[in-house]
Amino acid sequence: RPRVAPADLAARKAAGERIAMVTAYDHPSAQVAEAAGVDVVLVGDSAAMTVLGYDSTVPVTVDEMIMLTAAVRRGLQSPLLVADLPFGSYEASDEIAVATAQRFVKETGCDAVKIERGGTSVDRARAIVRAGIPVMGHVGLTPQTATALGGYRAQGRTADDALAVCEGALALQEAGCFAIVFEAIPSDVTDALMPRMSVPVIGIGAGPATDGQVLVFHDLLGIYGGRAARFVKRYAELRGDMIAGVERYVAEVRAGQYPATEHGYSMPEEESARLRE
Ligand code: KIV
Ligand code: NA
């Protein structure tokens, strides 16, 4: 398969073909996404929670995200690779935003970056796009600022709040974002907005009307323990399989059943004889 480019996503939208996006955080998950034929891979700052054990996305650093994104890059050929710019790495000024985005492109080989919110992030998106780096927007529930939004909860559930979500999405589109994520907003808000969206919209908890969907790798495969958001559908239950596998290993080690003869190395018979002398 050839490498997916932002223009290919626009073409898919124009053709009415839905876009499948998934997160990945390391080399094996990138290879799984590649083999499964996804269109877009996001190294989400959800990595903070899914693989680094923080209790929100806020603490993850640029260095941490760069290490994860570079590992994903090495496992990926075809899908478009997007990296989340972490909280605090782009908001303060256009210069800081461009410098951070450039670092990601230089040090990881990602194809695009994603930033959260409308408001001042619209200016940051415009500045990064002007610097020649494709930007994906993200509106609705924006986890980096969840505290200000009243926690991890759906956004745009009143007409006024919905208007703010719409304004953000349209402004990001106007700023040159090649695609926008809608997270955790009522389907009605998505339905109202879609006719005005000329760029591909990727939904997560935003109903069926978007041009594509994104889910967190650990959520959709059931790797991550704990409570999942309403919009998560589990397509596998790997956590249970992984625990069962490690439990069997532990039991076999304790019972002396592992390793068996076939797991060991041998030496030529004459060498073995000399060794015994
Ligand atoms: O960090 C992430 O995984 C995301 C997606 C859920 C859109 O931003
Ligand atoms: Na994110």
Q: Complex ipTM, two decimals? A: 0.99
CA angle at 198 for the pair 40 and 217, rounded to the nearest 5°: 20
**229 domain residue, yes or no:** yes
Residue 128: domain span: 6-236
For residue 205, the CA-to-ligand 2 centroid distance in Å is 14
- pLDDT per residue as tens digits for the range 50-107: 999 999 999 999 999 999 999 999 999 999 999 999 999 999 999 999 999 999 999 9
**215 domain residue, yes or no:** yes
**Predicted local distance difference test score (pLDDT) of residue 1:** 81
- Is the model's pLDDT at 226 over the cut of 90? no
Specify whether 144 is located in the same domain as 16. yes
* Residue 39 marked as a ligand binder: no
Specify whether 217 is located in the same domain as 230. yes
Specify whether 245 is located in the same domain as 203. no
Percent of the chain with pLDDT over 70: 100
Query: Which two three-digit tokens encode residue 42?
Result: 């996001």
Specify whether 253 is located in the same domain as 165. no
Burial of 111 (0-12, 13-18, 19+ CB in 10 A): buried
Q: How confident is the model at residue 198 (pLDDT cuts 50, 70, 90)?
A: very high
Specify whether 171 is located in the same domain as 205. yes
**113 domain residue, yes or no:** yes
CATH of the domain at 91: 3.20.20.60
Question: What contacts 88, CB < 8 A, 6 or more positions away?
Answer: 58
Residue 204 and residue 218 in contact, taking contact as beta carbons nearer than 8 Å: no
For residue 216, the CA-to-ligand 1 centroid distance in Å is 7
- Distance in angstroms between the alpha carbons of the first and the last residue of the chain: 60
Mean pLDDT of the chain, nearest integer: 97
In this structure, the residues whose C-beta lies within 6 A of any atom of ligand 1 are 23, 42, 44-46, 84, 181, 183, 204, 214, 216
Residue 43 and residue 83 in contact, taking contact as beta carbons nearer than 8 Å: yes
**40 domain residue, yes or no:** yes
Query: Which two three-digit tokens encode residue 61?
Result: 């650093």
Specify whether 187 is located in the same domain as 231. yes
| Closest C-alpha residue for ligand 1 atom 4 | 44
Q: How many independent structural domains does the chain possess?
A: 2
**1 domain residue, yes or no:** no
Report helix, strand or coil for 183: strand
Specify whether 223 is located in the same domain as 266. no
Specify whether 88 is located in the same domain as 220. yes
- Is the model's pLDDT at 225 over the cut of 80? no
**To test ligand 1's pocket by mutation, which of 216, 217, 223, 233 has the most ligand atoms within 8 angstroms of CB?**
216
**13 domain residue, yes or no:** yes
Specify whether 150 is located in the same domain as 172. yes
What's the distance, CA 103 to chain centroid? Answer: 18
